[in-house]
């Protein structure tokens, strides 16, 4: 996609706990790449309101939403370049989400795969908040008229809903909301360490956290399934494919090819592969962890970043909300 002066970027991460490699590679790396572009405006929020759409602990949420801001700063998001804020502190998000619900059918929302998955995961919590999750996300994006959204591939159905909402709002009410695209990174789908599905915070054993030590990373990798080491005799298992994908993401395509040749030839020594991979992952995470400590030691600075971000976000959000309300006869 061609980046121009009118490109605006928004993304967010829920406050469900420590960020993992999936969040980092699928979302944060895209945020960092886009922040580099002089011409464009970047808004990165903590989706703390989205966090309440599945069961959560109130005290943990209080801590975690701030921790995501610290993770953003540690990863290199720069408050001088990007607006960093908490979604719950900009009430316009909730207001616009409700207005959007006037153009979206219940059936469309119920058929979303992301909704169905969550209902399966938490059958006791099939709430209205969960059903409305994608409309709140559409509001997050469209309040800033963002046309580019750095997120993992799992979020594509939500981006599609956002485009649909924008189209419908423009048709029915004559608004001029953009139809955003997803900004994809090389790590748009980071697989689970367990061999099945994607890396996910809600699946224990599937992830590596950004705050893990080298030993913890290696311990987690040790649990990852492989095969007998003479894999060339059978089809490559999903577990091995996943490990090779991580090798490519952290050590490059050449390294992956080396292991693939080994696989065909002598078979891979998985203990050595895992040790090498743990070293490569930790080498990337170490500077983040060090910066994280620096920000933890400066709580006032973090407060100031949030306050300034909320003020900036609110000003833009208010303007869009006023425009939409005016068009809807509510101005």
List active site positions. 118, 198, 201
Q: Which of residues 57-116 bind ligand TYM (CB under 6 A)?
A: none
Q: Report the run of H or E that residue 273 belongs to, with start and end.
A: helix 270-296
Any bridge partners for residue 181, and if so which? 148
87, 140 contact by CB (below 8 A) = yes
Sheet holding 148-150, edge to edge: 82-86, 41-47, 8-14, 148-150, 181-183
Told to check if 10 binds ligand TYM by CB under 6 A, we report yes
175, 103 contact by CB (below 8 A) = no
Q: In whole angstroms, what is the distance from residue 202 CA to residue 281 CA?
A: 21
Q: Which of residues 166-195 bind ligand TYM (CB under 6 A)?
A: 187-190
Q: Which of residues 24-43 bind ligand TYM (CB under 6 A)?
A: 25-27
Binding mask 272-291 for ligand TYM (x = CB under 6 A): --------------------
Q: In whole angstroms, what is the distance from residue 207 CA to residue 285 CA?
A: 14
Any bridge partners for residue 43, and if so which? 10, 83
**Residue reference for tokens 């997803």:** 182
Told to check if 140 binds ligand TYM by CB under 6 A, we report yes
Any bridge partners for residue 183, and if so which? 150
Q: How many residues contact ligand TYM, by CB under 6 A?
A: 28
Told to check if 231 binds ligand TYM by CB under 6 A, we report no
Q: Which of residues 190-229 bind ligand TYM (CB under 6 A)?
A: 190, 198-200
* Among 9, 34, 135, 137, interactor with ligand TYM by CB under 6 A: 137
| Residue 183 beta carbon to ligand TYM: minimum distance, rounded to whole angstroms | 10
Of the two residues 47 and 268, which places its CB atom closer to ligand TYM in the complex?
Answer: 47
Which residues contact ligand TYM by CB under 6 A?
A: 10-14, 22-23, 25-27, 47, 50, 137, 140-141, 149, 151-152, 154-155, 158, 187-190, 198-200
């Amino acid at each position: 996609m061609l980046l121009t002066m009118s490109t605006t970027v928004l993304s967010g991460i829920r406050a469900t706990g420590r960020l993992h490699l999936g969040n980092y590679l699928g979302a944060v790396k895209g945020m960092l790449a886009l922040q580099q572009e002089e011409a464009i405006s970047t808004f990165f929020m903590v989706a703390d309101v989205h966090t309440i759409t599945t069961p959560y602990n109130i005290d943990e949420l209080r801590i975690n939403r701030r921790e995501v801001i610290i993770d953003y700063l540690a990863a290199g998001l720069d408050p001088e370049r990007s607006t960093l804020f908490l979604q719950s502190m900009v009430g316009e998000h909730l207001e616009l989400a409700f207005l959007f619900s006037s153009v979206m059918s219940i059936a469309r929302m119920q058929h979303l795969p992301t909704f169905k998955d969550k209902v399966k995961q938490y059958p006791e919590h099939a709430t209205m908040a969960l059903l409305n999750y994608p409309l709140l996300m559409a509001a997050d994006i469209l309040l800033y008229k963002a046309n580019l959204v750095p997120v993992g591939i799992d979020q594509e159905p939500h981006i599609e809903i956002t485009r649909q909402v924008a189209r419908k709002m423009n048709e029915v009410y004559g608004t001029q909301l953009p139809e955003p695209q997803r900004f994809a990174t090389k790590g748009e789908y980071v697989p689970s360490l367990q061999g099945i599905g994607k890396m996910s915070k809600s699946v224990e054993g599937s992830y590596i956290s950004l705050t893990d030590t080298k030993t913890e990373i290696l311990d987690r990798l040790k649990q990852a399934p492989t095969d007998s080491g003479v894999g060339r005799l059978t089809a490559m298992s999903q577990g091995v494919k996943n490990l090779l994908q991580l090798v490519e993401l952290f050590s490059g395509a050449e390294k992956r090819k080396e292991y693939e040749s080994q696989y065909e030839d002598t078979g891979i020594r998985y203990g050595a592969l895992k040790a090498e991979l743990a070293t490569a992952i930790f080498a990337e995470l170490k500077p983040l962890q060090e910066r994280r400590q620096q920000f933890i030691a400066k709580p006032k600075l973090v407060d100031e970043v949030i306050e300034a971000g909320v003020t900036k976000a609110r000003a833009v959000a208010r303007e869009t909300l006023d425009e939409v309300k005016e068009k809807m006869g509510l101005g």
